[in-house]
Amino acid sequence: MKTVILTGGMGSGKSAVARYLRSCGVPAYDSDARTKSLYDRDPSLVPLLEKELGVSLRDASGRLDRKRLASRIFPDPSAKARLEALVYPAVLADFRRWKRWHRPAGWTYGPVPFVVLESAVILSHPIFDGIGDRVVLVDAPEPVRLQRCLSRDGSTPEEALRRIRSQSFDLSRVDAILDNGGPVGDIPARSDRVFLNLFTIFAS
C-alpha cells in the first residue's frame, strides 16, 4: 500500500481536499487531529514533555493544558524544537499503526492502492523522509488563502499574512500541484484530476 503526502500552507484548502478524498473511500490521516489526540491516548507523552520543558503542562483534570503548552513553546524556538523531537516520532509510529489498519473501500475507479497523509509540516522534518511515495501540494493564490484564514480564525490581516508567508515548500520534492484557488465546488474535479493520475501510476 502506497502513501501519498498531501501538504499545503494555511488557507490552501488541503483539509477540504482530504475530506473529499475520505468521502470517496480513500483513507486520509489527519496529522493535526491525530497529534492532538496522541496527548490523550499516549500516557507517556505529557510527562515526557513536562520533563523536557521543565514545567507542568496539565490542567486540574490531569490532561494536557494546550494553552499552557502553546504559551511555553511559541515564544521559544528551542522549546518548540524539543517538543517536536519528542512528538514527531510518536506521530510517525501512530501513522504506521493507522496505515496497517486502514484499507481503502474503493474509489469510483476501483480499489485505491494508496492512503493519504495530510500534513502541513511533513516536508520540513527529516524524520518523515521516505514515508511518502508521492507528494501532492495543495496551493491557492495568496489573496485567496488570506481571505480563507480571516474568515475562520479571527486573526488580523497582518497576523494571517505573516503566518502564511512563514511557510515554504521545497517544490523539488513535489510530484503534483493541486490548484485550489477556485470555489469549494471545484474541489472534486480538481482532486480527481490529480489523484486519478496517481491511481493509474500505482495500480499499474
pLDDT by residue (tens digit) across 15-36?
999 999 999 888 999 999 999 8
Number of domains into which the chain is organized: 2
Same-domain check for residues 46 and 11: no
Same-domain check for residues 143 and 50: no
Same-domain check for residues 60 and 137: no
Mean pLDDT of the chain: 88
Same-domain check for residues 135 and 196: yes
Residue 96 resides in a domain: no
Measured between its terminal Cα atoms, the distance across the chain in Å is 13
CATH of the domain at 137: 3.40.50.300
Query: Is the pTM for the entire model greater than 0.75?
Result: yes
Quickly state the pLDDT bin for 131 (edges 50, 70, 90): very high
Q: What is the pLDDT of residue 174?
A: 94
103: phi then psi, degrees, rounded to nearest 5: -125, 135
* Structural domain range at position 140: 2-27+102-203
Residue 126 resides in a domain: yes
- The total number of residues written for the chain in this structure: 204
- In terms of Cβ atoms closer than 10 Å to its own Cβ (0-12, 13-18, 19+), residue 89 is exposed
Residue 33 resides in a domain: no
Residue 20 resides in a domain: yes
Quickly state the pLDDT bin for 109 (edges 50, 70, 90): low
Asked if residue 84 has pLDDT above 80, the reply is yes
Same-domain check for residues 176 and 147: yes
Core vs surface per residue 181-197: b (16+ CB within 10 A) or e: eeeeeebeebbbebbee
Of 1, 10, 18, 11, give the one whose Cα is nearest residue 136: 18
Same-domain check for residues 182 and 126: yes
- In terms of Cβ atoms closer than 10 Å to its own Cβ (0-12, 13-18, 19+), residue 140 is buried
Q: What is the pLDDT of residue 105?
A: 63
Which residue, chain included where needed, has cell 503534483? 176
Residue 163 resides in a domain: yes
